[in-house]
Amino acid sequence: MSSAEKTSSPLIKFEEFFSTKYKNDLFEILEKYPEDKSLVVDYFDLELFDPDLADLLIEKPEDVLNASQKAIKNIDPLMKGADLNIRLENLTNIIPLKILLSKYIGKFVSVDGIVRKTDEIRPRIETGVFECRGCLRLHEVEQTNSNTITEPSLCSECGGRSFRLLQEESKYTDTQTARIQEPLENLSGGTEPKQILIILEDDLVDELNPGDNVRITGTLKTFKEERSGKFKNYIYTNNIEPLEQEFEELQLNEEDEEEIIKLSKEPEIYDKIIKSTAPSIKGFRDVKEAIALQLFGGSPKELMDKTRLRGDIHILIVGDPGMGKSQILKYVSKLAPRSIYTSGKGTTGAGLTAAAVRDELGGWSLEAGALVLGDMGNVCVDELDKMRSEDRSALHEALEQQTISIAKAGIMATLNSRCSVLAAANPKFGRFDRYKSVAEQIDLPSPILSRFDLTFILEDKPNVENDRELAKHILSIHQSDSIKCDIEPELLRKYIAYARKNIKPILTEEAMKVLEEFYVSMRSTAVEEESPVSITARQLEALIRLAEASAKIKLREEVLAEDARKAVQLQRTCLNEVGVDPETGKIDIDIVEGRPPKSERDKLQKVVEEIRELQEEYGNKAPINVLTANLMDQYSISEEKIKEMIKQLKNKGAIYEPENGYIKEV
């Protein structure tokens, strides 16, 4: 090698690079070795030092990285011969997964994605130690293929060709496979997300969990599958960089930010954003306002005792067929910067949360479901009532604690699901009946209903004027193939991303006063013994989230009284729609949350008391016909209702039927 070639070799260049900029970092890591085994190098620093070397790293990563490791051994002052890993961050060669094709094989690339699944950690043999069966001489052979073990060709001592692998003497490294998929923001509606296998080794293992949003830097390689004989790409990982979970990929430039700030100063911005939410659907202003607030969200908080208060707003829409519920959900799933749409009919509990799946070698691994992949975004669940009850129960923890706890196939894990849930359901009997409670008409359990901040009822009521307006709206869309938007969807998407990332509004004294007054005034009606509880602390927390979201829409750092009033108005609308007891005309929070109303509980109590009195009179058992007659005379309860209540009490185990025509208290 000539002196000119020698000075320009990657090895010499890296020796110079490490002895200048990264000298102190290198010596610190070498002192801690082998506890600390990786030196993180900023690609930008390497590019400034030598652009040719930086370019060569992209084109021939293996040669350049090997040279960098040799350079460290050459300048190791402690003479440990440390095998340090050189990890590159801030690589400029960021390739979207959908175009990471065969032309990039052998190149050094960075890809952004969500971790879909992680497999078990396994040992991989790096250097095999073999014993000659003839003369017992030991031979070391470096292993390059992870699927097969390479033995020595012949013994240098006796020329023998039979060897035994000494497993305990051989050198191993930890290895793990994982799978990542495209970020949700990069998907257009209906396209399947691209996935790729990644290989993690040494100190990179056990660094990823399903649902993590990361940038993977490494070499794109290919391997031949034994079963199919086809080639498959994978990334041999060099470095992992966690990405901020807040819509980083939208990449807002200065022009976008200026336009967003200018838009926020418009006096009609609140109404414009509401009108731009699902513009193809006519009417439903309250629903659109709630969804607009959900897209912006409140501010999550972590208290001193590590308790987390969610900022995400959950909304349930229950409505008659043909009201456009699915269309609203589809629109939101495309508008939200990070969103997933799923339908209850084709969704299992594992598909919503996480599934334990077997990997190629028979071990178990976790695969993230919709609520985990939608972390820090929106998850739209259509036809929630069509899900099996055991699958719906997976929603309980995700809606309130915003985590998914998994205990499957020996895997114990807790994954994040910090997402807003927008769900739609149909009434149990086809159409909504105003004279029955919500719980009777929705096939959803009380614990799930109570976790939604707002519940809306969409009824299909014929009205000549409204029907004419709707017909004109639908016909005009079909005629011109376009919808007039106050704010273009792409700009609105950027506006939402900007607000969620940069605005964290704080409650002012005035706003707190408005919310406090509403809460106390609603509760004061229940002070009278006969009145039901109309609102609980759960609704107060929902009001805070809604008020914060209202301030975010206007990009304000403070929640004002007007924001609080908007939240109160929306909450009041929902309570009047869903929470009024048809029998008493009073708001009862138990109806909203799917429990029997106070009037119903009072009636059941009267039935139980009457049974007790009749038991004393008729020798420890109450005749059903006498009970029915007494209740009809004294309390004007219908015969049908009495039969229903007796059945209810039997199901609860409060009463039983010792003989035909008689009942007895347990």
Judging by beta carbons within 10 Å of its beta carbon (0-12, 13-18, 19+), is residue 320 exposed, middle or buried? middle
Q: Which of 158-167, 198-207, 330-339, 523-532 has the lowest mean pLDDT?
A: 523-532
- Phi and psi torsions of 22, nearest 5°: -105, 20
CB atoms closer than 10 angstroms to residue 426: 22
Q: What percent of the chain has pLDDT over 70?
A: 87
β-pairing, 403-408 vs 85-89, is unpaired
Domain ranges of the chain: 3-89, 97-243, 254-502, 598-665
Of 34-38, 301-305, 439-443, give the range with the top mean pLDDT: 301-305
Tell me the average pLDDT across 614-632: 82
DSSP 620: S
List alpha helices for 554-597, DSSP H. Answer: 561-578, 589-592
DSSP 208: -
Give the helix/strand (H/E) hosting 342: strand 339-343
Structure tokens at 306: 């590590």
Structure tokens at 279: 């513009």
Using alpha carbons only, how large is the chain's radius of gyration in Å? 33
Q: What is the CATH number of domain 598-665?
A: 1.10.10.10
Tell me the average pLDDT across 249-255: 68
Do 112 and 208 touch, CB atoms closer than 8 A?
no
Q: Which of 180-194, 403-417, 546-560 has the lowest mean pLDDT?
A: 180-194
3-state secondary structure 34-92: CCCCEEEEEHHHHHHHCHHHHHHHHHCHHHHHHHHHHHHHHHCCCCCCCCCEEEEECCC
Confidence of residue 588 (pLDDT cuts 50, 70, 90): low
Q: What is the pLDDT of residues 494-516, one digit of tens each?
A: 888 888 888 889 999 999 999 99
Tell me the average pLDDT across 406-411: 74
Do 54 and 91 touch, CB atoms closer than 8 A?
no
Do 664 and 619 touch, CB atoms closer than 8 A?
no
Confidence of residue 3 (pLDDT cuts 50, 70, 90): very low
Q: In this predicted structure, what is the pLDDT of residue 111?
A: 92
List alpha helices for 349-480, DSSP H. Answer: 349-352, 370-373, 389-392, 395-400, 438-441, 446-449, 464-480
Per DSSP, the three-state class of 287 is: helix
Structure tokens at 542: 């929902």
Residue with more model confidence, 476 or 153: 153
Task: Name the pTM for this structure.
Answer: 0.72
Residues 6+ apart with CB under 8 A from 502: 555
- Phi and psi torsions of 381, nearest 5°: -115, 110
- Averaged pLDDT score across all residues of the chain: 80
Q: What is the pLDDT of residues 590-613, one digit of tens each?
A: 666 666 677 777 777 888 888 888
Q: What does the alpha-carbon distance between residue 26 and residue 24 come to, in Å, rounded to a whole number?
A: 5
Judging by beta carbons within 10 Å of its beta carbon (0-12, 13-18, 19+), is residue 422 exposed, middle or buried? buried
β-pairing, 171-181 vs 558-559, is unpaired
Fold of 3-89: mini-chromosome maintenance (MCM) complex, chain A, domain 1 (3.30.1640)
Q: What does the alpha-carbon distance between residue 438 and residue 455 come to, in Å, rounded to a whole number?
A: 10
CB atoms closer than 10 angstroms to residue 160: 15
Q: What is the pLDDT of residues 298-357, one digit of tens each?
A: 888 888 887 788 888 999 988 878 777 888 888 888 777 777 888 877 677 677 777 777
β-pairing, 195-201 vs 171-181, is antiparallel
Does residue 247 surpass a pLDDT of 50?
no
Judging by beta carbons within 10 Å of its beta carbon (0-12, 13-18, 19+), is residue 49 exposed, middle or buried? middle
Cross-sheet strand order for the sheet of 655-656:
622-623, 662-665, 655-656
Q: What is the pLDDT of residues 175-209, one digit of tens each?
A: 888 889 887 666 655 567 788 999 998 888 888 88
Structure tokens at 31: 């002192």
Please identify, in words, the CATH class of the domain defined by 254-502.
alpha beta
Q: What is the pLDDT of residues 69-86, one digit of tens each?
A: 888 777 765 555 667 788
Does residue 547 surpass a pLDDT of 90?
yes
Tell me the average pLDDT across 631-635: 80
Q: What does the alpha-carbon distance between residue 31 and residue 552 come to, in Å, rounded to a whole number?
A: 49
Picking from 282, 315, 582, 585, the residue whose alpha carbon sits closest to that of residue 456 is 315
Q: Which residues on neighbouring strands pair with residue 366, listed in sequence order?
A: 118, 356
The answer as to CATH 3.40.50.10470 being correct for domain 97-243 is no
561-578 helix and 509-524 helix, angle to the nearest 10 degrees: 30
Tell me the average pLDDT across 556-568: 91
β-pairing, 411-416 vs 301-302, is unpaired
Cα 371 versus chain centre, distance: 4
Residue with more model confidence, 333 or 145: 333
Q: Using alpha carbons only, what angle is made at residue 93 by residues 87 and 98, rounded to the nearest 5 degrees?
A: 115
Q: What does the alpha-carbon distance between residue 115 and residue 474 come to, in Å, rounded to a whole number?
A: 42
Q: In this predicted structure, what is the pLDDT of residue 525?
A: 67
Classify each residue of 556-577 as buried b or exposed e, where b means 16 or more C-beta atoms within 10 Å of its C-beta: beebbbbbbbbbbebbebbbeb
Q: In this predicted structure, what is the pLDDT of residue 584?
A: 66
Q: In this predicted structure, what is the pLDDT of residue 188?
A: 53
Q: In this predicted structure, what is the pLDDT of residue 31?
A: 76
Residue with more model confidence, 575 or 229: 575
Q: In this predicted structure, what is the pLDDT of residue 582?
A: 62
Structure tokens at 615: 């038991």
Q: In this predicted structure, what is the pLDDT of residue 593?
A: 63
Q: In this predicted structure, what is the pLDDT of residue 185?
A: 62
Q: What does the alpha-carbon distance between residue 193 and residue 51 come to, in Å, rounded to a whole number?
A: 35
Residues 6+ apart with CB under 8 A from 234: 196, 197, 198, 199, 220, 221, 222, 223
